[in-house]
Amino acid sequence: MPSLTDQVANYAAYHRDRRNIATHFVGVPMIVFAVAILLSRPGFELAGLPLTPAWLLVAATCAFYVSMSVGYGLVMTVLLALITWAAGFVAAGGTALWLGAGFGLFVIGWAIQFLGHYYEGRKPAFVDDLVGLLIGPLFLVVETAYALGLSGALRRAVEARVGPTHDGSGRKAPGLTA
């Protein structure tokens, strides 16, 4: 299994333009929330616990994250649990709300993503590797850690492989990556 550094560097190679990264901070959470909403129905019980397909996906995804990094995996677990919990409230509304919010956020989120990749001049990472769909949310957490002055060794390793971010002119952007 590729390491955290391998996964983040592979994803980062498709995301060096800071405008693209900025669009991801909007689009990726919208898509994750949309998927959680859509998968929050139907609900069922397993050993007395209320479950939905969303919670099963979160469990599997978080296990993947923890296998790469316990610290980042735990952060992702908390964030995805909060998103899935909130999505459950939307899904519990009427069918129109459930489907409207789910599909609406999904389409708008992807439109924002593709705008970012227009700036980047490169296709999304998931086109070449579907794991990119799982790494996107983690990438945002990693970028946030960089902005907070954390994970310097990971940042240096990633930038050694794919170079620094730039401001759209091709020049290295001043300041932090995110």
pTM of the model: 0.88
- What is the C-alpha separation between 1 and 135, in angstroms, rounded? 14
In the numeric block, the tokens 């923890």 are attached to: 66
| Structure tokens that stand for 19 in this block | 């405008």
Q: Which of 175, 159, 134 is nearest to 13 (CA)?
A: 159
Q: What is the pLDDT of residue 20?
A: 86
pLDDT-flagged residues of the chain (< 50):
174, 176-178
Q: 89-112: per-residue pLDDT in tens?
A: 999 999 999 999 999 999 999 999
